[in-house]
Structure 1
Amino acid sequence: MRIVLDLQGAQSASRLRGIGRYSLSFAQALVRNNAGHDIIIALSALFPETIQPIRRAFDNLLPAGNIVVWDAPGPVAAIDPSNAERRDLAELVREAFLASLNPDIVHVTSLFEGYIDDAVTSITRHGAGCPVSVTLYDLIPLLNADRFLDPDPRYAEYYRQKIGYLKKASLLLAISRSAASEAVDHLGRDEAQVIPVGTGSDGHFRKTELRPVERDAVLASMGLYHPFFLYVSAPAVHKNHKRLIEAFARLPAAVRDTHQLAFIGHFSIFDRQDFETHAARSGLRPGSLVLLDSVSDSDLNTLYNLSQGFIMPSWHEGFGLPAVEAMLCGRATIGSRASSLPEVIGRDDALFDPFDVDDMCRVIHRLATDDEWRRELEAHAAVQSRLFTWDNVARKTFQAFESLRPAAGSGVAPDPLPQRKRRLA
């Protein structure tokens, strides 16, 4: 099969989030596990600064000629209504370019792109008969329209258009069983067309040992002077930071005053002020909450390893990859009893109601004070985290693609991709 991967998810603003990491790791996993398929990666010239780094990410994995670039007039971001005509044209140009590659299947690693930047995604605008599959992360805005769609009509229009495209996809590759169930229950998709392929860790995260001098230097540089609990997340409302702050503040003073709560994410000035104000109003002393802007993978691995435990309080997650990363580092991990997190964490006694601050506080207190239970969770983490590998994702993905083969064409291998159709950056 000729498989074309639209990798804009690793180019757009999402490249700084979990979706970007997923998109790139997913593509690398397919290339590493490829057995006879012709894999082409399609990039957008509207993100010129991302092209060479992505090329380097596939050095020794994929021939340079298998990474192609398409172009269209910009800007096209949907947030600006003056871009509408250019965006409409760009969607047609992109689909025509992808069709010109003679694919058996096109896979879009992130469909919900292009609201605040120049990503371009659509399905069946050009009328090509090639099957299109899409990675499904979640349907959070659709299922929480009062929070995410109703207050912003322009974003709602953009999002619902993407939902329309999503319904036209031949196949959805869900990152969890929870996300797959959402598509079946709320999009009316047939279960056979929604395949939970899961996710994996990109290999940066593992148990490590630091010498006491190195450990103390790292912690001091980040303002961490007590045993700390870690949360890695974007500052979105469904990530539930504020209830976690409240739950930490309700710990008995003897526990609260000898521990810290550390958040890692891309925090704007507003986010930082909002969380710090909420912490103060909840009764936390200065320094109890530590906000760390996005750190390197190396430093993040160190922080996972040095934390007393990882907490994932989100009330809705498509998957919850940071929980897996923490478990790969051998950390006791607790989290919300909602959406995908029970299947990720894999222990009912490590879960809490994300809307019940007292229940959250109860489990955090046990994590802080019950050494035997914490060691049980650490042992469990070593086993549970092995379930989530990119090789497993690639295997399930190829099986899903193969299931579409009868609809992908005559079965005759396409002609070699004409070099004139490859615009190389």
Structure 2
Amino acid sequence: MRIGLDYRASAGYPISGIGRQNFALEEAFRAHPDVQLQLFGVAPYNHPIRRLIHAPRWATPLNSVHRLHDRLGFEGLFLPKALRDAEVQIYVANINMGLPVGRKPANMRYVLQLHDLFQITQQNNHGSRLKAGIYRLTDYLSIAYSLKVADVVWVPSQFTANEVLRLFPSAREKLRVVPLLVEGFKGEPADIRSLQLPERYWLCVGTREPRKNMPWFVDAWQNARLQFPTVPELVLVGGDEPLNDSQRKLPGLHVLSGISDDELHAVYAEADRLWQPSYAEGFGLPVIEALRVGTPVAVASGSSLDEITPPDSPRFSPTDSSALVQLMGTLSTAPEEDPAALKAWTTTYDREAFYKRVHEALEELR
């Protein structure tokens, strides 16, 4: 099988969730004995990545995947001919859209890895209402087009599959649930004494988008601290942009951004518990990352978090503040959970399991 992979996420956003899954697909394809892999992307002139990928002759910034005119140039003007010239049999795009524009060759199959539909279903941070409206419209059209021309659509959870069916019911027969790869941290956790974190703390990772539900969660945590003196301090990884000024000044609240993977490893490992209060998640990487180092979790119900979290882990409604406050009080004195059991749960998402799922998904495209 000669497979072409859209490499724009890896090149432009290597530490993002989608970028990391782009690398994961590359590794899974290279591990298949019958796959010849070709990479397609964009780059500035004289950038070293041009030696690794098929790229347009014109220069394009690496981080241009969200710029409509750059996307159309790549997907419409460059990609169709480049795929034919490279004799690609299966082309895979993993940025929720991005399949070639124009008539698809009869002997070529398209795969869309669709992580979620939050670009068109949720309020996102775009700086202005006008910009947000333009992005929502163009993203809707791009996703709808890619769903239409794709032969198969890989989604990471049944939650995402259900969202696709709700908005695009004609894609029903194309959907395949292929959960993501969540790698363990490489090496040992860093010494994080310089971060000056408290001896005991709870943790939230990923705070920026409104769907992460952070202002609501921080309010509940503050109320729980007033009612239960055993509730620990709170560490947010990802910034405090969603919070208001009074929340940012709360005693016991710590905000981290720009930390290294080794530091994040340690922050996970030393936390008493990870909380994931999102009301919309397509998969939930931080939950698996926490469990992989033996840190227990508590998650909001109603999205993919229901699927990826151990069945006996605490769950809460993402809208019921009083119930969450009571749960925080209960868990602040709960006995320690078995780290070995938590780690064992995550084998479903390790490298071997992911490769097996991807290779099985390829079989129907032969």
Shorter-chain TM-score tier: 0.7 to 0.9
Say which structure, 1 or 2, has more relative contact order (CA 8 Å, 6+ apart): 1
1:195 aligns with 2:173: no
Q: For residues 247 and 258 of structure 1, what CA distance do their matches in structure 2 show?
A: 11
Q: Which amino acid aligns with 1:262?
A: V
Q: Output one character per residue of 1:151-179: Cα deviation in whole Å (capped at 9) or x when no partner.
A: 63211222122122222211111111211
How much has 1:93 moved relative to structure 2? 1.0
Q: Output one character per residue of 1:55-105: Cα deviation in whole Å (capped at 9) or x when no partner.
A: xxxxxxxxx8xx43312535595977xx74x65443221222122211110
Paired position in structure 2 for 1:8: 8
1:401 aligns with 2:362: yes
Paired position in structure 2 for 1:293: 257
Ranges in structure 2 where 5+ consecutive residues have no aligned partner: none
Q: Output one character per residue of 1:305-345: Cα deviation in whole Å (capped at 9) or x when no partner.
A: 10111111111111001100100000111111021001111
Residues 297-376 of structure 1 aligned to structure 2 (within 5 Å):
297-347=261-311, 350-371=314-335, 374-375=336-337
How much has 1:226 moved relative to structure 2? 3.5
Q: For residues 78 and 328 of structure 2, what CA distance do their matches in structure 1 show?
A: 52
Q: Output one character per residue of 1:17-68: Cα deviation in whole Å (capped at 9) or x when no partner.
A: 2111121123223323x1222122223224975728xxxxxxxxxxx8xx43
Paired position in structure 2 for 1:222: 195
Q: For residues 16 and 167 of structure 2, what CA distance do their matches in structure 1 show?
A: 25
CA RMSD of aligned residues (A): 3.0
CA contact (8 A) 1:4 1:39 kept: yes
Ranges in structure 1 where 5+ consecutive residues have no aligned partner: 53-63, 113-120, 406-425
SS in structure 1 opposite 2:4? strand
Q: Which amino acid aligns with 2:270?
A: L
Residues 67-86 of structure 1 aligned to structure 2 (within 5 Å):
67-73=52-58, 84=69
Query: CA 1:248–1:74 in 2, change beyond 3 Å: closer, same or farther?
Result: same
CA contact (8 A) 2:65 2:71 kept: yes
Of residues 31, 34, 37, the one that matches 1:36 is 34
CA contact (8 A) 1:123 1:165 kept: no
Q: For residues 370 and 381 of structure 1, what CA distance do their matches in structure 2 show?
A: 16
SS in structure 2 opposite 1:11? helix
Query: CA 1:171–1:322 in 2, change beyond 3 Å: closer, same or farther?
Result: same
Q: Which amino acid aligns with 2:165?
A: V
How much has 1:146 moved relative to structure 2? 9.8
1:136 aligns with 2:98: no
Q: For residues 18 and 45 of structure 1, what CA distance do their matches in structure 2 show?
A: 20
How much has 1:256 moved relative to structure 2? 5.3
Paired position in structure 1 for 2:247: 279
Query: CA 1:169–1:104 in 2, change beyond 3 Å: closer, same or farther?
Result: same
CA contact (8 A) 2:184 2:289 kept: no
Q: Output one character per residue of 1:341-371: Cα deviation in whole Å (capped at 9) or x when no partner.
A: 0111122551111122222223333222112
Q: For residues 302 and 87 of structure 1, what CA distance do their matches in structure 2 show?
A: 38
1:123 aligns with 2:100: yes
Q: For residues 146 and 356 of structure 2, what CA distance do their matches in structure 1 show?
A: 23
Q: Which amino acid aligns with 1:381?
A: L
Identity of aligned residues (%): 20
1:102 aligns with 2:75: no
Give TM-score scaled by structure 1 length: 0.75
How much has 1:258 moved relative to structure 2? 6.3
Tell me whether 171-180 or 344-353 shows the greater mean CA deviation: 344-353
CA contact (8 A) 1:43 1:51 kept: no
Query: CA 1:201–1:187 in 2, change beyond 3 Å: closer, same or farther?
Result: same
How much has 1:201 moved relative to structure 2? 1.8
Q: For residues 142 and 255 of structure 2, what CA distance do their matches in structure 1 show?
A: 34
Paired position in structure 2 for 1:423: none
Q: For residues 208 and 72 of structure 2, what CA distance do their matches in structure 1 show?
A: 31
Paired position in structure 2 for 1:180: 161
Q: Output one character per residue of 1:264-322: Cα deviation in whole Å (capped at 9) or x when no partner.
A: 12x3xxx44x52624158xx32xx11111132111111111101111111111110011
The structure that is helix-richer by fraction is 1
CA contact (8 A) 1:276 1:289 kept: no
CA contact (8 A) 1:26 1:390 kept: no
Query: CA 1:256–1:232 in 2, change beyond 3 Å: closer, same or farther?
Result: farther
CA contact (8 A) 1:226 1:260 kept: no
Q: For residues 80 and 113 of structure 2, what CA distance do their matches in structure 1 show?
A: 17
Paired position in structure 2 for 1:51: 49
SS in structure 1 opposite 2:167? helix
How much has 1:137 moved relative to structure 2? 0.5
Q: Which amino acid aligns with 2:39?
A: I
Paired position in structure 1 for 2:77: 92
Give TM-score scaled by structure 2 length: 0.87
Tell me how many residue pairs correspond in the alignment. Answer: 359
1:381 aligns with 2:342: yes
SS in structure 1 opposite 2:303? coil
Paired position in structure 2 for 1:60: none
